[in-house]
Structure 1
């Protein structure tokens, strides 16, 4: 805009009668945002993307046309132009597009799984060019396939059945029942790594899994205390299949929670989450989910928008198996987040499977690490607040109900129930002594 009319409205050069100040795109007529040669950035970006993704014959494959449209219609075409020029992912995508065959997950799995490959895969999934899959589960399988190739034969004979039929198969079952988060995949990797490390240690001490004694295991756990929790899965599996004799798998200790908030602190923080408009919307919703429903941040970021439902002017959110009633204020926040989520990416979600907290690109959820950083930056602790919410929940509801509504493991809910009972017993004894 170069001028202003008598009624105060901005006007372009043509409307002002100044032909020399014409800044309209010569192709589409859009006023301003000229990129080069009298053409706006949005017209140029389609050309650049088509050139990038074209096959040797100059045409773009049918598979990649949705990607072209998504990039051409991005809210910020300048970011797309910068991406086509400088990003490794763009160059990799150009090489893949030049092939005669369609791009598949299997084709991408054969490449080194670096940031560029992950970004390209995520972009293709976000635009519908590739079908969605659980990347945490697929990444676990792919990681072990490459790890198994480096194992000595006598290790692979034991580790491969354990990893494939115990860890990975159980991971598939959990992924079929509900969210399989990056944290869960990391824990499964640690179980497999612990088994490999223990087998390696046995070799170094001239032992085998069959000949190892309890003394050997105790020595290993003493010198490797960090393996105490992760080695149990492998030893229980080996004992059940009689691959070892005389080894008692270490029990997984339950770390009794020690960090709590007072009732007033919990209430004050919940009020902040529900009413403080200066807080980011995502922080308000995550904070309320933690303080009202004892949810873990790693699970919250995996929630999809279809978990939110309404019935008879009431709103519900399904955390596990059954819908849970939401208070009106939190309902308003969740609806705002679903309607206008924060999108920190050049692409908009193309599929119906939309995350409540979309990441980059929107076909993936926001990472738990960034969500935790957001909460810390806004003075909303997670661990102490969740512990307090859990102790309050099991104090008011049976543990089995808490497990069913909030998605907590039944054994964990019962341990919390015993802890709550012990706390009340100590409280009543102190009051009686007074």
Structure 2
């Protein structure tokens, strides 16, 4: 709106501004980009030019879907900025020569962020079927990892380990998580390291003994203990002696925020304007409700209800009310949706949208964004440590979406179970007996 009436923006007619802002292509009164054309019309012309071929053959249906999505963007300037980047223009012009585009054909092209972004656009706009990208990414990585194995026999064993253990497990999952993907890569990498070492010693896997394993583990970093996952599989498939074992890899004790630090962080987050509302919303779920970043990243607006009176969020099986000021970032996000302005998330229901079309944010990305304020892991562990002092394990697990066994481990760590047991004894009428060793073990367990 080019003019104003009193203090409000107004159109040309109402404000009396004599300024030509009519697009000569679509006729709309809008901000003009160049040649008396608006941003949307310039974007449409640019898309048609880039997707055209020298023989004027129409692009594939898959690429036409991308073009249609770009032309319909409400934030046309973002689409124009993206498509005019030289590497994007070059990639789209290359695709324009393809009579048909499939996942397999895209996989044959050089890997790049542009390739995956365009793939995401095709999936989001129903031009390609949806697939589990992390599973596909692991398969590509595994093929390259096999080339690092020096022995043909060990390469065959590792291929079977990848196919019948890791890929089979991924195929049975509804969605491969990033944690599963990274653990699988790490397990295969260490298995390859072990087998290459055996090859250097002139030893086949079937000939390995405990002395070999002890020596290999002693000579390297503690992460070599992760090879126990590979050895467990090798034992189940009768490839090695079932008595063989490694010292398992154990992580160090993770630090956790104490109650005072958590309270200070929550107070600061409710007042700060330095963190965007989406990050503040995620921080609240960690600091107040002990949620894992991987679960936060997958939240949808189906889990959140915003009314004039109340904001509720479902983390487990019950709705939890967010009281002021904890509800403020959620109200702001609900009041100012922006996902419909681009082609990447036209119908997105994710609360925390990612950089890839139609996908939620990666947990690692969200963790990195929050790291400027606090450690997500330390905050989560500190919150669960304190919560187990306030309510029974079953209630916390049901409300926050954790398994009872997980919450029980935190309760044991905070001595909550034992404290509750002692408290129950002290309030019992009549004579209070001293608990036996067996009953004491049961209560702490």
How would you bin the TM-score normalised by the shorter chain? 0.7 to 0.9
CA gap 1:208/1:8 in 2 versus in 1, 3 angstroms: closer
Per-residue CA deviation, residues 205-255 of structure 1 (Å, 9 max, x unaligned), is: 122222222222122222222423421211111122221124213334353
Q: CA deviation at 1:106?
A: 2.0
Q: Is the 8 A contact 2:59 2:99 kept in 1?
A: no
Task: Measure, in 1, the Cα distance between the counterparts of 2:114 and 2:352.
Answer: 23
User: Shift of residue 13 of structure 1?
Assistant: 11
Q: In the superposition, relative to structure 1, how do residues 5 and 415 fare at CA in structure 2: closer, same or farther (>3 Å)?
A: closer
Q: Is the 8 A contact 1:341 1:356 kept in 2?
A: no
Unaligned runs of 5+ in 2: 423-445
Alignment check: 8 A CA contact 2:306 2:334 kept: no
- Equivalent residue number for residue 239 of structure 1: 235
Alignment of 1:283-298 (within 5 A): 283-298=279-294
CA change 1:316–1:10 in 2 (3 A) is closer
Which of the residues 292, 295, 302 maps onto 1:299?
295
Check whether the contact 1:50–1:60 (CA below 8 A) recurs between aligned residues.
Answer: no
Specify which of 245, 265, 289 is matched with residue 248 of structure 1: 245
Corresponding residue of 1:271:
267
Aligned match of 2:66: 67
Q: Which residue of 2 aligns with 1:192?
A: 188
CA–CA separation in structure 2 for the residues paired with 1:169 and 1:335: 42
Does the alignment pair 1:366 with 2:364?
Answer: no
Contact in 2 for aligned 1:344/1:360 (Cα 8 Å): no
- Could you tell me how far apart the structure 2 residues matched to 1:381 and 1:375 are? 7
Residue matched to 1:431:
none
Equivalent residue for 1:123? 121
Taking structure 2 as the reference length, what is the TM-score of the superposition?
Answer: 0.79
The 1:114/1:224 distance shift into structure 2, 3 A limit, reads: farther
SS of equivalent residue, structure 2 residue 33: strand
Shift of the 254–14 alpha-carbon distance from structure 1 to 2, 3 Å rule, reads closer
Which among 374, 378, 381 is matched to residue 375 of structure 2?
381
More moved, 238-247 vs 389-398:
389-398
**Offset, 1:359:** 1.8
1:99 aligns with 2:93: no
How far, CA to CA, are the matches of 2:311 and 2:33 in structure 1? 47
* Equivalent in the alignment of 1:415: 409
Is 1:403–1:410's contact at 8 Å kept on the other side of the alignment?
yes
Matched, 1:37 2:31: no
- Report the alpha carbon displacement of residue 358 of structure 1 after superposing the two structures with TM: 0.8
Q: CA deviation at 1:73?
A: 2.8
Other structure's SS at 1:35 match: strand
Question: Is 1:357–2:352 an aligned residue pair?
Answer: yes
- Kindly indicate whether the alpha-carbon contact (under 8 Å) linking 2:59 and 2:98 is maintained by their aligned counterparts in 1: no
Matched residue count: 415
Contact 2:217 2:225 in 1 (8 A): no
2:167 corresponding residue in structure 1: 168
Is the CA contact (8 Å cut-off) linking 1:341 and 1:357 kept in structure 2?
no
- Assess, with a 3 A threshold, how the Cα gap between structure 1 residues 125 and 272 changes in structure 2: closer, same or farther: farther
Write the distance in 2 (CA, Å) between the matches of 1:325 and 1:10.
Answer: 43
Mean CA deviation greater in 195-204 or 105-114: 105-114
Query: Of 209, 212, 218, which residue of structure 1 is paired with 2:208?
Result: 212
SS at match of 2:280: helix
Contact preservation (8 Å) 2:262, 2:287: yes
CA distance in 2, matches of 1:121, 1:406: 35
TM-score when normalising by structure 1: 0.81
Cα pair distance change 1:319/1:243, threshold 3 Å: farther
Measure how far apart 1:44 and its partner are. Answer: 1.9
Name the residue aligned to 1:108: 106
| 1:49 to partner: Cα distance | 0.8
Structure 1 counterpart SS, 2:46: helix
**Residue 83 (structure 1) aligned with residue 82 (structure 2):** yes
Aligned equivalent of 1:432: none
* Aligned-pair CA distance for 1:9: 7.3
Deviations 1:168-211 (A, max 9, x none): 222333x41xx633343122111111111111111011222222
Distance 1:159 1:355 in 2: 38
Q: More displaced, 379-388 or 326-335? A: 326-335
Quick one: distance in 2 between partners of 1:219 and 1:50? 64
Q: Is contact 1:54–1:60 with CA below 8 Å preserved after alignment?
A: yes
SS in 1 for 2:265: helix
